[in-house]
Amino acid sequence: MRPRRAGCGDHGVVTSVTVVGGGVVGLTSALRLAENGHAVTCVRDVPAAGTVSAVAGGLWFPYHVEPRSRVVAWGLASLARFGMLADDPTAGVALREGLLVERAGPDRWWTEGVSGWRDAEPAELPDGAESGVVITVPLVAMPVYLGWLETACVAAGVTLAGRRVDDLADIEDDVVVVAAGLRAPALLPDVEVTGSRGQVALLANPGIDRWFVDDGFEGAMTYVLPHPGWVVCGGTDVPDGSEEADPAVHDAIVARCRAAVPELRDAEVLGSRVGLRPVAPAVDLRLHHVHGRPVVTNVGHGGAGITLSWGCADEVVALVDGLE
């Protein structure tokens, strides 16, 4: 750990930042801070491949997250950055067309500022659905993308450290960014985040590249998110803390997705994954002062941590730069 620079604050110069968290939110924050000239250490006790971020389907869509007034701008910033990353074959980002079925009728708040979408034709919709949106958005292959993010962090000068932080007071850098997802309240008791369980099934990709989301089931959705080699099939969204895959839920997901996308009928089942979405009443992105030191929280992204990652990281940088 670099020593905390004496006189920081007095001289108005931020030199060192520790980011706690190495999921998509922490890594993106670390990368943006390093790109902006800060000396950054990213500390995490779970490698990226073991995080909730690695379970995610990777669709750009602001699902189960508040407040909408800020989510739109964060999502647009991420949309632009992922659009650029789609040109990098190592990043695991593709721009793919798909269908979002709206069982409860049109709810288009999230399209503000987004171009290139259209109403689905009736013939494109599943039985019983009356509306939907066809749109091309980023689809992020998370295991690939998280590796890309770590590599980009190191290239930008971020030090990646593997250890658990038990107390923010143990960190010596000038500024701390808490991007610890569901576990943020253990570090900052006034932060409110709870887990919402998401289970997915992984199937071999038989050659599909169009995604499908149908939010038409109580406590469950049907979604099919194709990546090169595998398809993330979902899913559930229930307030439950268990991280064990439920075999009955798995079978129901596979059956629903095969019914929705017939090309999956004979696709090999590769496994199950469970993640707990870090849900908060609103994304907690603000500046605190803990024992006199600036602490920025970037937590509570619910079902939209990838979707909002770049926009929120930009705001973290603005808050840290604002200390100077």
Ligand X SMILES: Cc1cc2nc3c(=O)[nH]c(=O)nc-3n(C[C@H](O)[C@H](O)[C@H](O)COP(=O)(O)OP(=O)(O)OC[C@H]3O[C@@H](n4cnc5c(N)ncnc54)[C@H](O)[C@@H]3O)c2cc1C
Which stretches of the chain bind ligand X, using CB under 6 A?
20-26, 43-46, 51-53, 55-59, 164-165, 179-183, 187, 198, 200, 234-235, 275, 277-278, 299, 301-307
User: Rounded to a whole number, what is the largest CA-CA distance in the chain?
Assistant: 66
Q: Is the bond preceding residue 7 a cis peptide, omega within 30 degrees?
A: no
Nearer to ligand X among residue 9 and residue 208 (C-beta): 208
Q: Are 135 and 120 spatial neighbours (Cβ–Cβ below 8 Å)?
A: no
Question: C-alpha angle 112/148/16, rounded to 5°?
Answer: 90
Nearer to ligand X among residue 36 and residue 309 (C-beta): 309
- Phi, psi for residue 98 in degrees, rounded to 5: -160, 180
Among 199, 157, 177, smallest CA distance to 293 is for 177
**Element housing 167 (H / E):** none
Q: Are 219 and 237 spatial neighbours (Cβ–Cβ below 8 Å)?
A: yes
d(CA 275, CA 52): 5
Nearer to ligand X among residue 58 and residue 294 (C-beta): 58
Helix axes 142-155, 24-35, angle to 10 degrees: 30
Report the DSSP beta bridge partners of residue 195: 278
Q: Are 70 and 283 spatial neighbours (Cβ–Cβ below 8 Å)?
A: yes
Q: How far is the CB of 314 from ligand X (least distance, A)?
A: 16
SS3 content of the chain, % helix, strand, coil (to 5): 30, 35, 35
Report the DSSP beta bridge partners of residue 176: 18, 295
- From the centroid of its chain, how far is CA 202? 18
Q: How far is the CB of 125 from ligand X (least distance, A)?
A: 21
- Which residue in the block uniquely carries the two structure tokens 């996308």? 261
Report the DSSP beta bridge partners of residue 119: 133
Nearer to ligand X among residue 102 and residue 211 (C-beta): 211
Nearer to ligand X among residue 98 and residue 302 (C-beta): 302
Nearer to ligand X among residue 45 and residue 172 (C-beta): 45
Nearer to ligand X among residue 9 and residue 111 (C-beta): 111
